[in-house]
Amino acid sequence: MNIYEVIKKPLITEKTTTEKDARNIIAFVVHRDANKIEIKESVEKLFKVEVTAVKTATVAGKVKRVGKQAGKRGNWKKAYVTLKKGSSVDFFEV
């Protein structure tokens, strides 16, 4: 799998921002079929940092309704990437 297909986008929430500041952990939305090795290699190549650990979680899609019609959003996968001390990624560089 191509490294640009593995990482879809950074997951920036209040919780992930706190984790980034406290433990140097960054969260990403990743391809559902990507494994931890592919995620680690992609982050290291794209952002030129050293990764020490990767944890993944598959998030179940929510059931949504519009009037009588009910549908389900697709499942998606997120990855929590722990960076080596001294490494950092800034998504909002000026």
pLDDT of 94 > 70? The answer is no
For 58-77, what is each residue's pLDDT tens digit? 999 999 999 999 999 999 99
Q: Establish if 79 belongs to a structural domain.
A: yes
Beta carbons within 10 angstroms of residue 16's beta carbon: 17
| 90 occurs within a structural domain | no
In a domain, 88, yes or no: no
Alpha carbon 64 to its chain's center: 24
Q: Tell me the pTM.
A: 0.89
Q: In what order do the strands lie in the sheet with 76-83?
A: 7-10, 25-30, 76-83, 51-59
With b for 16 or more beta-carbon neighbours within 10 A and e for fewer, the 25-63 pattern comes to: bbbbebbeebeeebbbebbbeebebebeebeeeeeeeee
Q: Is residue 93 part of a domain?
A: no
Q: What is the CATH number for 79?
A: 3.30.70.330
pLDDT at 18: 95
Answer yes or no: is 14 within a domain: yes
Count of structural domains, the chain:
1
Domain extent at residue 31: 3-83
Look at residue 46 and tell me whether its pLDDT is greater than 80. yes
Question: Per this entry, what is the length of the chain?
Answer: 94
